[in-house]
Amino acid sequence: MNKLKGITLTAFSTLLIAVIFAFIFRLPIPMGGMIGPLGEFNSNDNILEILKMVIAAWVFYGLFGGFIVMALFGSIAAYLAEKSSDLSKSKNMTILKYSFIAGLIPVLFISTLDLVIGPW
């Protein structure tokens, strides 16, 4: 049951982190370019439009392997939280923390991938 919590929390945390990255760092939008203050397009124009683009990017990257990565990282986060926490109340909060960290890794990777492989 804890692995399912970890997978679910990691999937939702990647969406939240992607929204945060779109407003404070940058996020690649498929067939749209980089969005954000450090990207090609400014993210201060229309908040609803930015949210739509981030959700579309989350689904696009998820369908092309991202959901498998999120499930893997989420189950690892739940396993590590289960091993490091003994109390049941503390365990849920630990799963939340580890899932947030596990969700940060793929979003940070996709946001900085062009610095490693070159422009898309």
Can you tell me which residue has the tokens 């890794």?
Answer: 105
Average pLDDT over residues 90-107: 90
pLDDT of residue 90: 76
**DSSP assignment letter at 88:** H
User: pLDDT tens digits, residue range 11-33?
Assistant: 999 999 999 999 899 899 888 78
Q: Percentage of the chain surpassing pLDDT 90?
A: 44
pLDDT of residue 38: 78
Residue 110's SS3 state is: helix
Indicate the domain borders of the chain. 2-107
pLDDT at 119 exceeding the cut of 80: no
Amino acid at 51: L
With helix as H, strand as E and coil as C, how does 12-46 read? HHHHHHHHHHHHHCCEEECCCEEECCCCCECCCCC
Q: Are 77 and 5 in contact (CB under 8 A)?
A: no
**Whole-angstrom Cα distance, residue 13 to residue 16?**
5
- pTM exceeds cut of 0.75: yes
Query: Of how many residues is the chain composed?
Result: 120
* Choice among 42-46, 68-72, 115-119 with the minimum mean pLDDT: 42-46
User: pLDDT tens digits, residue range 49-87?
Assistant: 889 999 999 999 999 999 999 999 999 998 998 888 776
**Whole-angstrom Cα distance, residue 12 to residue 36?**
20
> How does strand 27-29 pair with strand 33-35?
antiparallel
